[in-house]
Amino acid sequence: MMKAVSIESGEASKAIGHHGVNRGLSIFDLILRIVAIVGTLAGAVAMGTAEQTLPFVTQLVQFSAQYDDFETFKLSVIVNAIVCAYLALSLPFSIFHIMRSRAGKSRILLIFLDAIMLVLLTSGASAAAAIVYLAHNGNSSANWFSICQQYTDFCQRSAGSLIGSFGAMVCLVLLIILSAVAISRR
């Protein structure tokens, strides 16, 4: 003979639902971190290898452009490398969150560090974007001419590096939002 046992389904299904959602958020967190690593690494490599020498040479001058001719490009390479290293070092935390979705203190730490890295990456990418804009368009009121008509490869590479940097910035914003949502669901 079977006894009728009454279970309140609301509480049990609610606990399982939050665990599954937090696990899904943690997996998405890991994917976003990997995408951001690729973006920052690509941005650093593309900018760090941006150089071009024009085919004509005068007796005294050879015309060339390199990323280290511009301080903002150096800043962009350094910041991308720092953020890439941070993201790589944060992967174990992300994997830990997949296994233990209730971990809260490490998520708070990651929100704080992700925000710092977002600020760093934004400053480096924005400074480089300003110089890339000037290289492409010049500034007629300051009599600065566009150099991208002559240094096309250099300009394409430096502009392309910004795609990785700005893509990583979007990933970091999403990571901060995901961590905040996961903490609020605890």
- At a CB cut-off of 8 Å and minimum separation 6, what does 142 contact? none
What pTM was computed for the model? 0.81
Number of CB atoms found within 10 A of residue 74's CB: 17
Cα 127 to the center of its chain, rounded Å: 15
Give SS3 for 68. helix
The per-residue pLDDT for range 122-152, each reduced to its tens digit, is: 999 999 999 889 888 888 888 888 877 888 7
pLDDT at 160 over 50: yes
Q: Which has more confidence, 6 or 29?
A: 29
Q: Are 50 and 77 in contact (CB under 8 A)?
A: no
CA distance 116 to 107: 14
Give the per-residue pLDDT at 88: 97
Structure tokens at 79: 């910041």
CA distance 57 to 37: 40
CA distance 41 to 77: 9
Give the per-residue pLDDT at 40: 96
Q: Sign of torsion, CA 142 148 149 151?
A: positive
Query: Where do the H-state alpha helices sit in the chain?
Result: 9-48, 71-99, 105-137, 152-184
The per-residue pLDDT for range 168-180, each reduced to its tens digit, is: 999 999 999 998 8
Angle between helical axes of 71-99 and 9-48 (0-180°, round to 10): 150
Give the per-residue pLDDT at 25: 86
- Mean pLDDT (whole number) for 145-168: 87
Give the per-residue pLDDT at 35: 97
The per-residue pLDDT for range 15-45, each reduced to its tens digit, is: 445 566 678 888 999 999 999 999 999 999 9
Give the per-residue pLDDT at 3: 58
Q: Band the pLDDT of 62: cuts 50, 70, 90.
A: low
Average pLDDT, the chain: 84
